[in-house]
Structure 1
Amino acid sequence: MSSRLTSQQNGGSNQSSEGSMFGHLLLIMPAAAFGLGTWQVQRRKWKLNLIRELEEKVNADPIPLPDDITELEQLEYRKVNVQGEFDHSKEVYILPRSLNHQGGGGGGGGGFAPSGETGVHVITPFYVADKRKWILVTEAGYPELRSNPQQGRKVKPEMSIAAMYTVLWVLSVAVEGTLDLTGVVRLTERGSIHAQNDEAKNRWHYRDLEAMSKVTGTEPVMVDAVYDSTVKGGPIGGQTRVSLRNEHMQYIITWYSLALLTGVMWYYGIFKKRRNVLHRP
């Protein structure tokens, strides 16, 4: 009889130990979910600060193009002033591209929202006279263009020089065809596994400064035009899009909700049940 009681006590002890271990394991779930939610709070703060910094760069006053082009690696989205001439014989095209119709910030720095239209971005070599360097200038997208980027790009004799060069950014026209331009510094963008650039056919799907500069014989420098360059009925300026995905609030709600739900389940399913057992007469 004594042996049987001892066996039952040991069995109950083992079950209690196993239940305690299981309860502690379940407690990890709400704790981990709460930790992930808190981490997303920090990530959201970081993302908001990054977005604010980018917008400040776009809206800052233009600066001269640096003599050392390597400095541009730290100046993406800053506006620069350049003066020189275009060479339209070496244009390259990025397509398809969704187009912006509104400037994103003060000073015509760029657009932040797509218009829903699809067109082409025209990249044109530009000779910067005072730096004696060729750079690349992103011209506006053309909504009506698809397979033939040159279609609809017609210059009428009665047009002014500014109208002829309705590229992303003609702000003023100096004598002898020299243009004063303001553009937003851009760097190489991440490629796509679904669409590859075709240098031979001059079809580009993403911005590759190194490859484009080799094809056009320019420095690996690119700037987008500002929104103020838009001409009614012509190309659309301000194609710079400063937009970063910020879905951290959704993740915060998801993780904290999961922490609350699993915490309540643990309390009523493990903690409260165990407490009732311990206080049972």
Structure 2
Amino acid sequence: MFLFRMASLKSVLAVSTRMLSTLKKQTNVIYTKRTLFLPRPPLFSRANGKFIHFQRQSSSTAEKAEKGEETFLKWFLLLIPATTFGLGTWQVKRRQWKLQLIDDLTRLTNAEPIPLPSDPLALNSLEYRRVRVRGRFDHSQELYVMPRSPVDPEKEAREAGRLSSSGETGANVITPFHCTDLGITILVNRGYVPRQKIRPETRMKGQVEGEVEVVGVVRLTETRKPFVPNNDVQRNWWHYRDLEAMSRITGAEPIFIDAGFESTIPGGPIGGQTRVTLRNEHMQYIITWYGLCAATSYMWYAKFMKI
């Protein structure tokens, strides 16, 4: 990434140098054309008994025009370092905002769990909030979100939103869960299973029976992102979290939680598969923009101010 940033910096410096050269040539061309095609006044003219030297006067006017063009070019090119400085400062503020957002999210996912509201609309403001439910799983209607790789919570917090993979792929097992205290059925992401353990008969020891308590994180529905395949309902292959379609298939309410790691049963899915999707690459942008500002400022100084 650092090499890529340095390459970008070098390319911008090269472009800035070419701009300076091109504008200088254009200035010379304009001056040359003006001196070639404008009508030439007589060398001398008599006024009040005195001869006036027009050639000297014309040269002085041309010099003033060229000086004015160079002054305009000088201050116009100063926009480059000024703009990059502004962008770097904007990224500093964006980074502060993102760090606060991540801190709020971390606090939510580690807060004391609250009882799950029965109204789906009440959950719209509770995403990533920990909740507690009690009831029974219906293993006969499992759904499989794939392909998925196991989530390392510490790594997810450290590299939030980056595109990375552990190389191991499988599926997340979504199971209807009837809440005995609320009288409704919701959807619970029990966690990750490797590819060879997707079929329920390969992990019978992990198919917990009876009434259990589950602590998990509230998740809302997802919109299909570009290049993500459509969900294949007939084959029970889901690529993104479509709560409306999942609820229609299972008869559950459009309420979805990711079960915590503590819900993991030996031989069953591995809980704690909440994937944080907040990108935080602002420090790289800050270094890039301020680096460009410093480089172009030095070029401007060397061109116009250094004696």
TM over 0.5: yes
1:1-281 to 2 correspondence within 5 Å? 1=43, 2-100=53-151, 102-104=152-154, 115-145=166-196, 149-150=198-199, 153-155=202-204, 163-165=206-208, 177-194=210-227, 195-272=229-306
* Distance in 2, Cα, partners of 1:237 & 1:190: 23
When residues 119 and 67 of structure 1 are mapped into structure 2, their CA distance, relative to the original with a 3 A threshold, is: same
When residues 258 and 111 of structure 1 are mapped into structure 2, their CA distance, relative to the original with a 3 A threshold, is: closer
Percent identity between the aligned chains? Answer: 48
Aligned 8 A contact 1:112 1:240 in 2: no
When residues 137 and 111 of structure 1 are mapped into structure 2, their CA distance, relative to the original with a 3 A threshold, is: farther
- Structure 1 alignment gaps of length 5 or more: 157-162, 166-172, 277-281
* Distance in 1, Cα, partners of 2:85 & 2:150: 41
SS at match of 2:194: coil
When residues 92 and 186 of structure 1 are mapped into structure 2, their CA distance, relative to the original with a 3 A threshold, is: same
**1:231 CA drift (Å):** 3.5
* Distance in 2, Cα, partners of 1:56 & 1:246: 17
* Distance in 2, Cα, partners of 1:259 & 1:16: 26
CA-atom RMSD, angstroms? 2.3
* Distance in 1, Cα, partners of 2:264 & 2:118: 29
Aligned 8 A contact 1:112 1:241 in 2: no
Q: Deviations over 1:257-279 (max 9, x none)?
A: 1011111111110233xxx5xxx
SS at match of 1:206: coil
Which has the higher Rg, Structure 1 or Structure 2?
2
Amino acid at match of 1:223: I
* Distance in 2, Cα, partners of 1:103 & 1:40: 27
When residues 230 and 86 of structure 1 are mapped into structure 2, their CA distance, relative to the original with a 3 A threshold, is: closer
Higher helix share: 2
**1:104 CA drift (Å):** 4.6
TM-score (norm 1): 0.82
Aligned residues: 250
Amino acid at match of 2:207: M
